[in-house]
Amino acid sequence: MKKIILLVMILVLSLSLVGCSSTASVNSDKIVIGGKNFTEQDILVYIMRDLIEAKTNLKVEVKPYLGGTNVVAQALERGDLDLYAEYTGTGLMHILGEKVINDPEAAYQKVKQMYKDKKQIVWLKPLGFNNTYTLSVRADQAKQLGLEKISDLLEHQSSLTLGVTHEFLERDDGYRGVKKVYGLNFGTAKGMDPGLTYAACRDGKVDVIDAFATDGRIPAFNLKVLKDDKNFFPPYYAAPIVREDTLKKHPELAEVLNLLAGKLDDKQMSTLNAKVDLEKQDPQQVAREWLKSQGLI
């Protein structure tokens, strides 16, 4: 009887170990992609997901609109994510705390090396577009006040309302840095949801916003981008960034995601953003149609 019980216990243990092994195997074949809380990131999440699933045997879980930069970056470092799309200027100044580098290639090489050395995170090839921060105003107000460049805001700063994302308010490559470099200190500065700033500016609820250069709402809402005459904002070229341990398990990811290198210029990204923000198309559909148009899936 004891022998039978022992055999049963061994069998149960063996089955449980097989179960654990198969679960680990399944999990190792799943990639988790995250995204920040704005439209462009949402589109990029689905572009990367669909491409990976079309070109590999990997399954992809997506976590779109996860939060701001800090939330998503920390999730990647903890291992809650395997990859997401980051911007060179954000990585350089906001994450690494380095000084601005205006040369796009030099900025990319700097963040690539420092992320590898300090964080064991790999920057893949840039997608092609530069989604730099801008300070933008209504075109009619710019004409009325003679606003062409950021420095022109100094004369009117006390009477203007700044409406920017909460993240921009706190970033050194955001309002903190703008105040230091340009000497700007607006009469009112509001932190807002990223999806609300453009309409608020259009409707006159705020005067100056932190608009992304590739956002289709800039031309659609008749906004004017002010020239960064002191070259404060660094280049913000987007690229997939992947945990080094993930790439060791799945080296095919680098080859597949690098198929996107240089495929998305500023104009294309702006058009895709506008399809979601203005035409109210599904970001998943927009992503898939773009991949098909490029012959990638």
Instruction: Compute the distance between CA of residue 88 and CA of residue 226 in angstroms, rounded to an integer.
Output: 21
Instruction: Compute the distance between CA of residue 225 and CA of residue 150 in angstroms, rounded to an integer.
Output: 9
For 200-245, what is each residue's pLDDT tens digit?
999 999 999 999 999 999 999 999 999 999 999 999 999 999 999 9
CA distances from 1 to 11, 12, 14 (A): 15, 17, 20
Instruction: State residue 17's pLDDT score.
Output: 38
Give the three-class secondary structure for 82: coil
Instruction: State residue 14's pLDDT score.
Output: 42
**Token code pair at residue 266:** 């500023």
Instruction: State residue 28's pLDDT score.
Output: 67
Instruction: Compute the distance between CA of residue 133 and CA of residue 214 in angstroms, rounded to an integer.
Output: 9
Instruction: State residue 10's pLDDT score.
Output: 42
Task: Name all domains of the chain by residue range, CATH numbers in brackets.
Answer: 23-130+237-293 (3.40.190.10), 133-225 (3.40.190.120)
**Token code pair at residue 255:** 């080859």
In the chain, what are the helix, strand and coil shares in percent, each to the nearest 5? 55, 20, 30
What does residue 32 show for φ and ψ, rounded to 5 degrees?
-110, 120
**Token code pair at residue 297:** 């899936």
Instruction: Compute the distance between CA of residue 284 and CA of residue 270 in angstroms, rounded to an integer.
Output: 16
Say what the pTM is. 0.84
| Below-70 pLDDT ranges, the chain | 1-28
CA distances from 76 to 41, 130, 139, 244 (A): 15, 22, 39, 11
Instruction: Compute the distance between CA of residue 207 and CA of residue 164 in angstroms, rounded to an integer.
Output: 10
